[in-house]
Amino acid sequence: MKALVTGARGQLGRDVVSLFSHYHDTFGFGRDQLDITDADTVRKIIREMEPDVVIHTAAYTAVDRAEEDKHQAFVVNAQGSQNVAAAAAEVGAKLCAISTDYVFDGQASTPYTEDSKVNPQSVYGQSKLAGEDYVREITDSHFIVRTSWVFGVHGNNFVKTLLKLGKQGKPLKVVNDQFGSPTSTADLAKLLLELVASNRFGTYHASNTGVCSWYDFSREIFRQAGIQVEVEPCTTEEFSRPAPRPAYSVLAHDALRENGFHLLQPWQDALRDFLGDWSHYEDLEGTK
């Protein structure tokens, strides 16, 4: 199988390219090589490559900046996804598009299923939902994979930020009234590999199993990393941000179960694996 990955230099994209390369002819394109907002370029490259599957990880992910940059968020997340979906459909390729828990309003008290009502409260969430809608309209051969609280060895994320702050030894305040499920990009990439090998198309929720608050998550990060630092819980109101965050964005994994796919491991185990990978990665970076 030939796989083409958009956003190949991003946090998830790099892990997808690395893993898929062991099993398939895989071609990763960063933004400078494949600008998904340029329909002609997208069509030209996908026509030339003729992939069997397109893993669409490219996205505008600056959640707070999107509130003031609505046009660009929609150009990338909605129009960009439209361009990728149209080009993939033209060559008969499967499309696996990554989406987000931000398509929900966060007012639930039980995990959101794939059929739960969407009601995004942020520009980021609205733009990602618009991208989902384009994918569904354009091609039936799609996997839409919603995920949450993503972390990996590449790019910026909550875990790496906390590790850096923790080593400074200063007391920290972390939000304790937002609940979700952390997701390892390494684990997610493995699921995508399994998913696209099938023809079980549709919408899926994919996150590591288990639920925590950002405060719980931070405490576990420091515990596993062996970092002694004082962490105090705070409310969302105390830690105001431009974009509203879902108070509860836990994703149920009904579609994975119903279609016979493996669930991701508990988030605590995924964190353990990440810390081992990150330590090795830091060592390699330090030798350069």
165 token code pair: 């702050």
DSSP code for 3: E
Q: Can you tell me the distance from the alpha carbon of 105 to that of 118, in angstroms, rounded to the nearest whole number?
A: 7
- Strand, helix or coil for residue 234: strand
134 has catalytic annotation:
no
Catalytically annotated residue among 60, 102, 124, 215: 124
Strands (DSSP E) contained in 70-222 are 94-100, 142-147, 150-151, 172-175, 179-180, 183-184, 202-205, 212-213
- Candidates 167, 168, 163, 138; CA nearest to 153 is 163
Entry field: residues in the chain:
288
Antiparallel, parallel or unpaired: β 25-29 and 2-6: parallel
Residue holding tokens 């990763």?
28
Helix and strand totals (H; E) in the chain: 10, 12
Contact 30/81 with Cβ under 8 angstroms? no
Give the active site residues.
Answer: 124
